[in-house]
Amino acid sequence: MSAEERKCAHGKYWLIIALLGIALAMSLALNVRRVSRRMAGFAWKRPAAEAGAAEDEHPQFEERLSWGSGNRKVVRIAVEGVIARGGETGWFGISTDPTGDVLRQIRAATNDEDVAALIVEVDSPGGEVAPTDEIHNALRAFRESRDDRRIVVFVRGMAASGGYYVAAAADRVIAEPTAIVGSISVIIQSLNWHALSERVGVTSTVIASGRHKDMLNPFKPENPEHIALLRRVVDATHARFAQVVAEGRGLSEEEVAAVADGTVFSVPDAVEKRLVDDIGYWEDAVESVEEMLEDTVRVVRYTKTMRFSDWLARLRAPAADLTAAVPPRGPRLLMLWEP
């Protein structure tokens, strides 16, 4: 075979590969679209948003019947994994924001006059302080929007640190017998490699307008004054955490002080310390809601028809928990249990 023939054959080979790739992508897109439509066919449709309604203020979801067929409408919402705001970018520059998704679901339930209660399924070691506080505040707003609305938190595997901060917004907390509860505490952590940098001859050049601007610079020795300043921030946030638990659980200052030292508890111990109301499973959580509402319930979950771009974004979503646990943006104020 001549060089020209080999070049021609090589070109045809890559052309075939390209065509196969395009065909595969189109087939995948069509299948995802078909599955999405099929899923939507089983959904209960929310009323269409009014013309001109702000989509973040009045988010719209499809509803799928999850459990029961009773009189009162209940929405189940999951708070899972490390609690953090967006920033985890998936393929093609698509970002994920699990906290934003949770807040939108709570807001949708708050806006829906038919919703009598929430079952919040928590399985989280906590995370960043601000997103955690946002979720807690949204849950309180739901409960306070009407006197007859209730919240049950169902702890599956863990409600530690910020996970428990979220749970403290509930009227009742039910946990599976093997769950972990507690770690009522706040942390800022950072690496310091000053000694190592001196050995290898690596330094840091910082141009700052204030003497406290480069706190926790890992190339400098620990500064006691900086540590004291950050301690004040941690203590103030911890005091708020303790207050949230005291108000949410109806505990005295002494009772909160006894559990707010970062300790994690088994569920029987958590019940004894009044951090958890009952030990049980999903059916018990539903029964608890019915007891509080004094009526039968039908539980729905919110869904959205998955577009092809959403599907691509979720392919990489599981990695978000790992990267959020050690934020790449430097030291962060965290309510996170990370043994």
Which residues have a catalytic role annotated? 161, 213
* One-letter amino acid of 228: A
Inter-residue contact 327 to 85 (CB < 8 Å): no
Q: How far is CA 256 from CA 130, 151, 261, 275, in A?
A: 22, 22, 9, 9
> Interior CA angle at 224 toward 222 and 228, to 5°?
120
- Alpha-carbon torsion, ordered 95, 183, 144, 131, to 10 deg: -20
The neighbouring-strand residues paired with 150 are 117
Beta strands, E only, 36-140 = 44-45, 62-67, 72-80, 88-89, 95-96, 115-124, 126-128
275 contacts 180 by C-beta, under 8 angstroms: no
Please name which of 87, 161, 150 lies closest in space to residue 127, comparing C-alpha atoms.
Answer: 161
User: For residues 307 and 300, what is the distance between their CA atoms, to the nearest angstrom?
Assistant: 21
Chain-centroid distance of CA 2 in Å reads 62
Q: Would you say the C-alpha torsion 278, 284, 290, 293 has a positive or negative sign? A: positive
Beta bridge partners, 157, equal: none
